[in-house]
């Protein structure tokens, strides 16, 4: 028959092009969030709670790590000289030590300075110092290492290089303490990493299942869109934007809750518990970590939606 319908003529291409489509998908995503308030609130709440637990863990971990790093400042190498070097040679020696990779700071302690320190330490017990002269105490270099060179192997390698410098007779660095401290740090990081990994898996599992359930609740919508001729991208885009918005909202809420927890309990944890976990109290997460949590929320929402959609789109 000649009267066959050729389909409606599309009058305007308002949604053509990247920005047109993005604007349509975004407005659709916002409308979907409004039309599914309860389901959206459950998703945002789950993401917020999961991220709050993860960020609380991160806050504690970062503070403990900071404390431990503070302790590692005690890793100090002392190089003793046979004879006190001439004042002109001191600068050259310091320069040679400074040139060894891993050196953070070098202080020259002359025999006079060593005696002065000893006397001040033994104040009130001057009788013990009778007969002790400057010559008995050797001049030395007190060396602080940078953070990357405080593990057992690096310190040992550093000491070997130090011993090659002429005039240095003995090197001390509290070998046992360094070993114990590094064993503790390795255990701490391993435990932190394991706990963090378990927590991340749990968060991923809970959030992806919640998103899966919310998308399952709207499977009729997905099916219908496919049946009226929507492409996979057309169906998925608003859901993915919804996921990103929910993830971002969840992350912001979790950070606000973390801030509230911090100012209510953690900042004054020392007074609250009767002990102060860090000399300066717990510090809040740095900006990079906060940005990481928001990015994590966005990623959670996006990946959670993307993987769940795969199961329900038949087109």
Partner 1 sequence: MIQMHNVFMSYQPESSALADINLKIPKGDFVFLTGQSGAGKSTLLKLVYADLTPTRGQVLIDGVNLTRLSRSQIPLLRRSIGVVFQDYKLLPNRTVLENVAITLEVLGWGKRDIGKKVFHILKRMGLEDKVNATPLRLSGGEQQRVALARALVNDPKILVADEPTGNLDDENKEAILSIFKEANNRGTTVVVATHDRRVIENSHRTVIRLDKGRIVEVPDVQG
Q: Which is nearer to partner 1, 20 or 193 (CB)?
A: 20
The answer to whether 117 touches 139, Cβ cutoff 8 Å, is: no
Check binding of 1 to partner 1 (CB under 8 A). Answer: yes
Q: CA-CA distance, 167 to 159, in Å (whole number)?
A: 14
Select the residue interacting with partner 1 from 112, 195, 227, 295 (CB under 8 A): 227
The answer to whether 152 touches 185, Cβ cutoff 8 Å, is: no
Contact letters for partner 1, residues 181-210 (x by CB under 8 A): ------------------------------
H and E: helices and strands count for the chain: 10, 4
Q: How far is the CB of 235 from partner 1 (least distance, A)?
A: 9
Options 8-16, 53-61, 154-162, 301-309: segment touching partner 1 (CB under 8 A): 8-16
Q: CA-CA distance, 76 to 79, in Å (whole number)?
A: 10
Select the residue interacting with partner 1 from 26, 30, 36, 283 (CB under 8 A): 36
Check binding of 11 to partner 1 (CB under 8 A). Answer: yes
Question: Distances from the Cα of 37 to the Cαs of 57, 178, 195, 304, in angstroms?
Answer: 30, 56, 34, 18
Q: How far is the CB of 46 from partner 1 (least distance, A)?
A: 21
Residues 6+ apart with CB under 8 A from 17: none
The answer to whether 213 touches 46, Cβ cutoff 8 Å, is: no
Going 15 to 21 to 27 to 33, the CA torsion angle's sign is positive
144-163 binders of partner 1 (CB under 8 A): none
Q: How far is the CB of 228 from partner 1 (least distance, A)?
A: 5
Check binding of 274 to partner 1 (CB under 8 A). Answer: no
Residues 6+ apart with CB under 8 A from 305: 211, 215, 239, 240, 242, 243, 244
Q: CA-CA distance, 209 to 215, in Å (whole number)?
A: 10
Q: CA-CA distance, 101 to 145, in Å (whole number)?
A: 9
Q: Which is nearer to partner 1, 23 or 202 (CB)?
A: 23
- Binding-residue total with partner 1 (CB under 8 A): 33
Check binding of 228 to partner 1 (CB under 8 A). Answer: yes
Check binding of 13 to partner 1 (CB under 8 A). Answer: yes
Q: How far is the CB of 14 from partner 1 (least distance, A)?
A: 3
Q: Which is nearer to partner 1, 8 or 99 (CB)?
A: 8
Check binding of 8 to partner 1 (CB under 8 A). Answer: yes
Options 6-14, 46-54, 112-120, 175-183: segment touching partner 1 (CB under 8 A): 6-14
Residues 6+ apart with CB under 8 A from 21: 15, 237
Q: CA-CA distance, 40 to 265, in Å (whole number)?
A: 30
Select the residue interacting with partner 1 from 221, 261, 278, 292 (CB under 8 A): 221
* Interface positions with partner 1 (CB under 8 A): 1-8, 10-16, 24, 28, 35-36, 220-221, 223-232, 234, 315
């Amino acid at each position: 028959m000649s009267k066959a319908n050729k389909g409606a003529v599309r009058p305007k291409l308002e949604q053509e092009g990247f920005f047109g489509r993005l604007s349509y998908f975004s407005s659709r995503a916002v409308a979907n969030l409004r039309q599914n308030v309860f389901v959206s609130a459950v998703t945002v709440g789950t993401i917020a709670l999961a991220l709050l637990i993860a960020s609380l863990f991160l806050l504690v971990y970062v503070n403990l790590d900071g404390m431990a790093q503070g302790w590692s400042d005690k890793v100090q190498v002392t190089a003793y000289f046979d004879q006190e070097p001439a004042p002109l040679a001191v600068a050259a020696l310091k320069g040679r030590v400074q040139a060894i990779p891993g050196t953070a700071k070098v202080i020259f302690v002359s025999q006079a300075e060593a005696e002065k320190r000893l006397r001040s330490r033994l104040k009130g017990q001057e009788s013990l110092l009778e007969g002790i002269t400057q010559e008995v105490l050797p001049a030395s270099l007190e060396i602080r290492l940078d953070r990357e060179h405080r593990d057992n192997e690096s310190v040992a390698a550093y000491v070997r290089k130090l011993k090659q410098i002429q005039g240095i007779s003995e090197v001390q660095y509290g070998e046992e303490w360094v070993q114990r401290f590094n064993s503790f740090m390795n255990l701490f990081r391993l435990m932190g990493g394991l706990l963090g990994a378990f927590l991340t898996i749990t968060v991923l599992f809970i959030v992806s299942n919640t998103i899966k359930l919310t998308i399952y609740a709207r499977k009729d919508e997905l099916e219908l869109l496919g049946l009226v001729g929507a492409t996979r991208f057309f169906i998925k885009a608003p859901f993915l934007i919804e996921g990103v918005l929910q993830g971002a909202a969840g992350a912001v809420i979790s950070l606000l809750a973390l801030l509230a927890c911090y100012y209510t309990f953690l900042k004054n944890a020392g007074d609250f518990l009767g002990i102060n976990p860090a000399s300066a109290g717990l510090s809040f997460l740095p900006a990079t970590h906060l940005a990481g949590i928001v990015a994590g929320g966005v990623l959670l929402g996006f990946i959670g939606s993307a993987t769940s959609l795969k199961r329900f789109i038949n087109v």
